[in-house]
Chain A
Amino acid sequence: MFGYIVANMDKLTDEEKQHYRSCYCGLCKALGNRHGTISRITLTYDMAFLVLFLSALYETDNKTGTERCIIHPLKPHQYWQNDITNYAADMNIVLAYYNFLDDWEDDKNILSLCESKLFVREFTRIFEQYQKKCTVISDCLKELSEIEKSGELNADIPANSFGKLMGEIFVMREDEYAENLRAFGRALGKFIYILDACLDLKDDLKHERYNPLIMTSSEDFAAILNLLMADCIENYNRLPINRDKNLIDNILYSGVWTKYEAHKQKQRRQKNK
């Protein structure tokens, strides 16, 4: 359920593109430094967005640097980092760990079990550091799994549960922004959950699996997703974000639709065949 919150690169200036990429690279580097090279496979764009978003809100001082990359040995890569990068790297591990566990429990996928074992030590360490937050996340996931098992038909119920989880992740510290950040995260999480359901509907129907939108036709998806993003924007506008505004707007107004558009295009192509 990850990797939906990306930018629409076509509409960014070169500078913005660079800033966005460096944010991603900074997170990747933080993951490697904090949790071992292998943890880089868990890197998601969603957490890069978290870094970008919170850094813009808190107007952090970023530590920038340049490093060479094996793929482009001649072209050094830029990155930037701050405290938020470290926080996002930790949250990235928490989410990845639960995701592996979930895949193991749902599909009995041995690979996922092994992957979860890889991260159990890192996870335990992070859990101790953010006990309260991790408990909320784990409770939300438990709740979500029960809701899905019960075959809940009201799509808002599981979506709210996933939203709660995202809301928690967006609150790095309990300060004057916490309430608005939580609301923003909730709305974004709700969108992610429903978007995921939209994209999975066909497969879920085929395999007779749970899908919260089973009673909905895909004709209605765009309207539903627009409503949810409108909520998200409402909360976004309550936060005093001035830095990287165009980049964040790009992600929230356009980039979040990337996978949806790709899916639509794929379906159209299949139909034409």
Chain B
Amino acid sequence: MTDPYKVLGVSPSASMEEITKAYRRLAKKYHPDVNPGDEEAAKKMSEINAAYEQIKSGNAYQTSSSGGYSGQTSYGPGNNSSEQYDPFGGFNPFGFDPFGGFGSFGNTQQRQEAAEFEPVKRYLSAGYYAEALNALSYINNRSAQWYYYSAIANLGLGNKVTALSHAKTAVQMEPNNLQYQLLLNKIQNGGRVYQQYSQNYGMPVVNLSNLCWGLCLARLCCGLCC
């Protein structure tokens, strides 16, 4: 992974304020809303976002050191409490449905990755979403899987905005993963019923000049009457 400080063009000793400034300056230039349809800019923006997120979460150094996410960092401080939180006792990695699908490991790296998510899965299955998020924050490699679990945890906490965004990222990173798509669908479905109702109602047709006048008039009326 590239050095996040290099991506943002700041020195590793820069203060958080300076980094935020640098990030916002870059965002101003590369944000998709400023560059509609420009794929290069969009790609650059996701790089900048990832770098900034990484520095903000305090994981910048660990990741830049040659992919060395040992199992240890991932467990973090959450590990000690994981046992006592688990109401089901032993956790069966194959029996747990929505998070299954990681049964067959091809190589050591994958196995290591899957092991990294064990505590997260455990928290999620027990409904300890905040703990799951905490455990996730110790995992440096933000893979599609990471975003998938983060979406589930955020959904559980009612953080719909983040849940939607992370589920989307997971699908974007691995478009063929059915599980990720299912989760994204599930989240989006929550808004669909409302949307349909809302569309049946009819969106407000806004005539800008009228609206402004209407508001001003209403205000003046009330301000001056009585």
Contact = CB atoms under 8 A, between A and B. Distances in A.
A69 B221 contact: yes
A261 B206 contact: yes
Query: Which interface class (under 10, 10 to 19, 20 to 34, 35 or more) fits A?
Result: 35 or more
A186 to B, nearest CB: 9
A63 B49 CA distance: 55
A156 B164 contact: no
Interface of A: 8-11, 21, 24-25, 28-29, 32, 40-41, 43, 67-72, 77, 79, 151, 153-157, 159-160, 194, 201-202, 205-206, 208-209, 213-220, 223-224, 226-231, 233, 249-250, 253-255, 257-258, 261-262, 265-266
B83 to A, nearest CB: 28
B53 interface: yes
Contacts of A156: 154, 157-162
B221 A71 contact: yes
Contacts of A226: 191-192, 194-195, 198
Contacts of B56: 151, 153
7 contacts: A8-B201, A43-B219, A155-B162, A156-B158, A205-B33, A258-B206, A265-B206
B182 interface: no
B191 A223 contact: yes
Given A21-B218, A254-B201, A265-B208, A218 B161 contact: no
B24 A208 contact: yes
Interface of B: 16, 20-21, 24-25, 27-28, 31-34, 42, 49, 52-53, 56, 154, 157-162, 164-165, 168, 187-188, 190-195, 197-198, 201-206, 208, 211, 214, 217-226
B127 to A, nearest CB: 18
Contacts of B193: 230
A72 B223 CA distance: 12
Closest 8 CB pairs of A and B: A69-B225, A226-B191, A156-B159, A28-B222, A230-B194, A208-B24, A70-B224, A227-B191
Contacts of A213: 161
B222 A233 contact: no
Question: Which DSSP category, helix, strand, loop or mixed, fits chain A's interface?
Answer: helix
Given A220-B165, A223-B191, A40 B159 contact: no
Given A77-B221, A153-B53, A253 B201 contact: yes
B202 A8 contact: yes
B161 A233 contact: no
A271 B159 CA distance: 33
A179 to B, nearest CB: 15
B173 to A, nearest CB: 15
